[in-house]
Amino acid sequence: MKESKSDALVFFGATGDLAHKKIFPALQAMVKRGNLDVPVIGVARAGWTLEQFRAHARDSLEQHGGVDETAFAKLCELLQYVNGDYDDTATFESLRVALGNAQRPAHYLAIPPALFGPVVEKLATSGCGKGARVIVEKPFGTDLASARALNQILFTRFDERSIFRIDHYLGKRPVHNMLFSRFTNALVESFLSREHVESVQITMAEDFGVQGRGAFYDQTGTIRDVIQNHLFQVLANLAMEPPARIDSESIRDEKVKVLKAIEPIKAAELVRGQFRGYLDERGVARDSQVETFAALRLHVNSWRWQGVPFFIRAGKSLPVTCTELTVRLRRLPKVFPGCDPVPNYLRFRVSPEVEAAFGLTVMDPDDRMIGQQAEMMLSRRPAAGEMDAYERVLTDAMAGDQTLFAREDYIEEAWRIVDPVLKSGTPVHVYRPGSWGPLEATAVMPPGGWVNPVARVANSA
């Protein structure tokens, strides 16, 4: 069934950091591509005029991506601004007037979760929520109990088909492309199972620290910030079964099945780290035990993957900025006396560039039948004009396509997996900035070791 497109976009938190860095560039791109031609109403309590709001939008674009004068002029015609507190009935009365004849608005809550309740309630009592969709920004809870509580708040006024929980990582073209590549290439799909795969590892490395966001990060940590959401989505894209149909519910059904097959992580299967100097960051508690690095092992006990360990590693102040997945295949029996075959592998890089590579054993240069490992690689940089993640997810939300959004059961399963270990008080080990994390991380190391991503300097086509 084709969903009706939203006829207005309201975004709460319109003067915030997320709006300035990501939302205005996405809105301009949507206008330029012809995917946005409805009123865009910013709601905030900055005390601004509409002209100040438009000036803020222009400043955002000048700093983050550039101004397209034609598209920006069209965006300015669509922009409206409602000023007021989120718990003030008068704010929502003004919003109702701004919505005019809109019957299917989309309300984007780019605000802290603590404000969801008052906003959802006021949307309903003011009539602004009638026929509406609600788009919710992450983090969606801090544990299983809080995620369930947030869901209950939303369910008091909206049904699941009207709720869009953003994980912008799913909007990245390479992440979305993993499914397409898996299920359209026999060369890849034929060996993705326990019969052929020895282990799977996923690394998300960042070569910077918390970048002035110490107060936020000290309430979050690496597991909550990127593993429980972003990297579980990458894992699900690799491990899921082919969907029965190509619709949002069928695809999301298969992703939920993957998480249901994963046991909660045990303390012995997790190593947490903190880069030296983190405690000096502004907003960070002097005795903080929040991790800036985590390495963990988990098990997907499905028919396809039972017995194959999955390893996830993520952290800040590491040597490079890169997200990469490596599938290491089982070692072949020895045939040539001087050659111990190294396991073949599939390596898929999600960012900053896109790479798909096969690691193969080839004849050594001196023909001594010893062999050496070589990569066969396809690589590309994002092309100009490609959809940014936020443009993609906002476009889909406005169209009512939920494929790239997390469903209630997926969110709760993801928290179920990490909840026990988050509350178990595992130790935090200090590591040197620019290293690959604490030495203790070898306790949860894939067979054959971690594959450390390297920075690429060339731009291959």
Which residues participate in catalysis according to the annotation?
Answer: 230
- CA distance linking residue 109 with residue 103, whole number of Å: 19
User: Would you call 360 exposed, middle or buried from its count of C-beta atoms within 10 A (0-12, 13-18, 19+)?
Assistant: middle
CA angle (154 as vertex; 86, 415 as ends), nearest 5: 115
- CA distance linking residue 231 with residue 312, whole number of Å: 8
In DSSP terms, which residues pair with 329 in a beta bridge?
197
The DSSP result for 134-185, as a single string, is: EEEPSP--SSHHHHHHHHHHHHTT--GGGEEEE-GGGGSHHHHHHHHHHTT-
User: Quick one: how far is CA 393 from the chain centroid?
Assistant: 11
Answer for the pair 371, 361: CB distance below 8 angstroms, yes or no. Answer: yes
Q: Give the containing element (helix H, strand E) for 273.
A: strand 270-275
Per-residue HEC secondary structure of 11-80 comes to EECCCCHHHHHHHHHHHHHHHHHCCCCCCEEEEECCCCCHHHHHHHHHHHHHHCCCCCHHHHHHHHHHEE
In DSSP terms, which residues pair with 373 in a beta bridge?
361
Helices 69-78 and 50-63: crossing angle in degrees, nearest 10, is: 150
